[in-house]
Amino acid sequence: MANLRKYKKQAISDPYAGGAVWRPGVTNRADRFIHEQAECLPGQIGMGTSVLAFVRLDPTACIGENCCIFSDVFIDKYVTIGSDVVIKYGAKVLDGVIVGDNSVIGAHVKIYGATSEPGNDRKTIIGKGVSLGDGVEVLAGVRVGDGAVVGADVVLTASVPPGAIMTGNPAKVVGYTRDTAPVAESDSDADVLREVQTTSVAGVTLHNLHNVQDKRGNLSMGEFGRNIPFMVSRYFLVYNVPAGEVRGDHAHFRCHQFLVAVKGTVHVIADDGVNREEFVLDRADKGLHLPPMTWGIQHKYSADAVLLVLASDYYDNEDYVRSYEEFISHVSLNLGAPGV
């Protein structure tokens, strides 16, 4: 709410504010501020919302409570804006778009909807707590996950996972925001003795591998089908990853994976479509099992990191789920299946 008040105070200095003063407790039109040169109806605007000059709001659109809509914004037909949303100067939100609560839409952003496109019923959805930088374009049918941050002038042509940080053209994930600290396994004796640890993500487990300390050099080992919970058909190594790059960012229909940072540190995000958790792999005797239909992301590679990935299946491009939106669709179907 503090940030929203900051934006509303900024709106006071708008040259098209018509001399009207907004401050907490001073409103008009039944606890709303609507500039006389704005094209909208009070019934479309939630309590505590401010709408500045030259805003055009289609009669079928609606805006939630405590929002701040800057000058020259256009909100098209059947658009739904949540509460505590800020939409800056010159932004356009088109054709049935849904914007979640607590989001910030930058100046001159364009968010295209899908309702006007023949045969396209996929909605464009901006999640809760999303930040879109100035000049961003979001194409029709794209879904931006909760808490995502998109840098200025990025063009989004594909859906964005929750918490992703996107920059560049073409847009790419450069990191992830987190509401909670990553899970780093404790070095206490109790945790080391616990060979397998369950997590909040379905089927994902942390493994303490057998570790032999020796003056001639240490040894870490695992046995396929035993403490590594599947038989291995292939392996690959990921190393020399440039700073800020993100690897993975996909799921598999059938393939199991087991990840070990044999050198350095790698952060891994596992997502089952309902729960997400971040793990730190920083020892050669610590492994992470990602079962099928787990969205996996690796980032924050240290400069010396070497990540070993053991896979249950041979490479098959058809086994990959590369769109987070497609992944969520498959998860939703599975959750709705009988007996699930």
Catalytic residues: 250
Span between the terminal Cα atoms of the chain, in Å: 39
Distances (CA, A) of 340 to 45, 237, 335, 336, 337: 41, 36, 6, 7, 6
Q: What angle do CA 214, 212, 261 make, to 5 degrees?
A: 110
Distance CA 276, CA 331 (A): 14
Radius of gyration of the chain from Cα atoms? Answer: 24
Cβ count near 266 (within 10 Å):
24
Closest CA to 92 of 122, 54, 46: 54
Determine which helix (DSSP H) or strand (DSSP E) holds 68, and give its type and residue range.
strand 68-69
Q: Can you read off the two tokens belonging to residue 3?
A: 């940030």
Distances (CA, A) of 243 to 141, 183, 238, 287: 31, 21, 13, 23
Backbone φ and ψ for 324, nearest 5 degrees, come out as -65, -35
Distance CA 189, CA 191 (A): 6
Q: Going by DSSP bridges, is the β-strand pair 80-81/98-99 parallel, antiparallel, or unpaired?
A: parallel
